[in-house]
Chain A
Amino acid sequence: MNIIVKIVFLICLLASYSVSATIKIVTTTQDLASIANIVGGENVEVKSLTPGTRDPHYAEAKPSMIRKVYRADLLLLIGADIEIGWLPALLRSARNSDVQKGSRGYLDLSSSIDLLGKLKIATDRSMGDVHAKGNPHYWLDPNNGILMSQVIAERLTELDPENKESYRQRQSTFENKLAQKIVEWREKLLPLKGKSVVAYHKSLTYLAEAFDFKIVAEVEPKPGISPSAKHLNKLVNLIKEQNIKLLILEPYYEKRSSELLSKKTGIQIAVLPQSVGAMPEIENYFDLFDGIVSELKIAGNF
């Protein structure tokens, strides 16, 4: 008898818990987590599967992620194949039909963004690890951050219509603040306008697009392929010829090649946080661009 009472009590407790519970959001990166946190506020509980220090393309799928995805109500992903090495297997193991592709709890943000670098011609992998669907590093254009917040707010409203007003307000506050900050960041980076820059990997294209500078070459000869001595020599010539002053890269790339280029040409190296959490002081999406702008200003000496 006692057991039956306990079971019924437990069921009621669980039922009441699920009614009042916050929306559990799991994101593949900390950038998505930051935006979801700002838009969702106290109505959501957000966890990122990967830390900002890691390249999400090579993230390590760990069993602890299975539990996070299993408990989630909403999965936010960058998409455009950036998580292809680990997310499909994770979704198969996580057995949560609410967040499978095609469910309302599955939101691929790349489907709302006009991606750069989409390939219109057929490609093969002799070109390196090319993403045919387009360059997936779009969160590095803060204008895309606005789009991302809109899409996230929309989906949260669908999942939790009761708090519609709260999501709308938080999203518009975020959007207004970001729009203001974009103006401020663009002003600060005005000296960079139209300048040629070298990047390590084809991942900072969106940043260049947002702040009007040009990436004319990459340290990697092809995406995901380590630089050879021959390629580095070519770069030395290019940097000298075009008098390029700035080399930008993410903190997880090897610095030896870049330091070699710097020694031979005097090019300045700026290590840019590429994601929220990439460096300890980068705690949210605003910090991300504050950090990038200040690194660029220091290295560019303006």
Chain B
Amino acid sequence: MKTQTITETLTGRSVQLFRLTFVSLGLFTSAQLWASDGNSELAELKEQLKQLNEHQKQLEKKLEEIENAPSKTQPVTQSNTASNSELLKIGLSGLFSSGYSSVDDDALANLQAGGHDPNRNGFNVQNVELSILSTVDPYFDAQANLIFLVDSEGETVVELEEAFFTTRALPAGLQVKGGQYYTEFGRFNPQHPHQWSFVDQPIVISRLFGGDGLRSQGARISWLMPTDWYSEIYFGAQNANGETVTSFLFEEGEDIAGHTLEEIRARNFSDALLSFRWLNGFDLSDNSSLNFGISGLSGPNSSGTNNDTSVYGIDAYFKWQPDYVQRGYPFVSWHTEWLTRRYEAGEAGSLERETLRDTGFFSQVLWGFQTGWELGLRLEKSYSNGEDIFDPFRNDRERISTNLTWRLSEYSKLRLQYNRDWAEHLEEDTADSLILQMEFSLGSHMAHKF
């Protein structure tokens, strides 16, 4: 009873307040209208006369100009014909490599577990990607990336890597993305192979997100926050099942630390793969900038009926360029990510029940020392609790990679990379690999993601 009265008074007061605001706003606008109406006729005439005078002066001046002008000063409106390339941007990028390792193909497949990694001694077609993007209408942009690759068995694989829309006109800094897309977790995961700074993906990415990176069907909303620096928050929900969500409802029959995965369907909507990301960007000076992000994932896994997985990550990216740069050189960039996974494995109450923890990081520095030339160094470490030293996806692994990239133009590059692996499951405990990579890109000039 008491609360009711309070709410009533509250509503009553706020209604009054709103009325007051509306009345004052109304008064304000009508006052403005009235003021402009009062002297309007006289003012209009004066204005017209003034405009006529101005116009005459302008014409005289124009005449003078045309007579004396050194060259043309007439605006040419719409004379530059629009080309059809604006309507549909199509690009094709090809990524090929030739690599040799001190270990055989079977061992190499475990070291290079990424779907686009050079995982065979000899030649590899790492990735051929067809991208189509455009603006749908004033409300949406859309994009599709189809990939073609030849796997280690020599089979051609075609995948709908991504196909999604993003909104253009939502208010308040909001944007919705929907379809099939790479989860915006960390900096590396959403990157495509031709954007990588090394020929292969980091070990920890292969361990937690599988060979293809983490991508699935779903939707996310992001909010560009009204802060003075760049700060954006993402919330997403995606389907938790399939071969591209390996830490969650991965395919039946697959194996994680000795636990065979069962066929488990999502029980309800809360069984979706939920994702979160907070990304910040700062200009440290005119020449350097820093991005810093934290990301999180949560969803069910298929090692038991009621098991969950969560993944957390921190990522940082720093870039420095001097005042004068030619074609983007010189520069120094530094990219580091740390990821950790908590995985409930085995049926609850059973003897096999355990919680797996897998952690890893990579840190890479790129030095663009001369126009078109880059030198890279990457350090990596991955480890797990209760590890089985013979499990190549959970044992201690370390790797140092160094490479030299030559971008002949904006549209082609050559890259030579050396990897030194330390892994307990290898006979010799170490492996050395040398890979030469070539990339070309055709068609539309695709904008680079920062």
Q: Which residues of A contact B (CB under 8 A)?
A: 1, 4-5, 8, 12, 51, 53-55, 58, 60-64, 66-67, 70, 80-81, 84-90, 92-95, 97, 100-102, 110-115, 118, 125, 128-129, 132-134, 141, 143, 146-147, 150-151, 168, 179, 182-183, 186, 209-210, 224-226, 251-254
Contacts and interface: CB of A to CB of B under 8 A. Distances in A.
Residue among B75, B408, B409 facing the most chain A CB atoms (10 A cut-off) = B75
A8 B17 contact: yes
A236 to B, nearest CB: 21
17 contacts: A4-B17, A51-B286, A55-B325, A58-B327, A61-B447, A62-B283, A64-B289, A67-B229, A70-B224, A85-B445, A95-B168, A111-B77, A112-B76, A118-B80, A224-B409, A252-B324, A254-B370
Nearest to A98: B169
Given A62-B450, A134-B80, A1 B10 contact: yes
Interface of B: 10, 13-14, 17-18, 21, 54, 65, 69-80, 83, 135, 138, 141, 166-170, 173-175, 224, 228-230, 232, 279-283, 286, 289, 291, 319, 321, 323-328, 370-372, 408-411, 445, 447-450
A142 B166 CA distance: 40
A64 B282 contact: yes
Given A53-B325, A92-B168, A226-B371, 15 more contacts: A5-B17, A61-B448, A63-B450, A64-B283, A67-B230, A85-B445, A86-B447, A86-B448, A88-B447, A113-B75, A114-B76, A147-B74, A209-B71, A224-B327, A252-B325
Contacts of A87: 447
Nearest to B322: A53
A114 B71 CA distance: 12
Given A63-B281, A67-B224, A129 B168 contact: no
Closest 9 CB pairs of A and B: A63-B281, A89-B447, A63-B230, A252-B324, A97-B169, A58-B328, A61-B450, A53-B323, A114-B76
Given A63-B450, A85-B445, A150-B75, A129 B324 contact: no
Nearest to A132: B83
Given A95-B175, A210-B71, A60 B79 contact: no
Contacts of B370: 254
B173 A70 contact: yes
Contacts of B83: 132-133
Residue among B170, B371, B409 facing the most chain A CB atoms (10 A cut-off) = B409
A55 B329 CA distance: 11
A146 B70 CA distance: 13
Contact of B447 (A55, A85, A110): A85
A89 B166 CA distance: 12
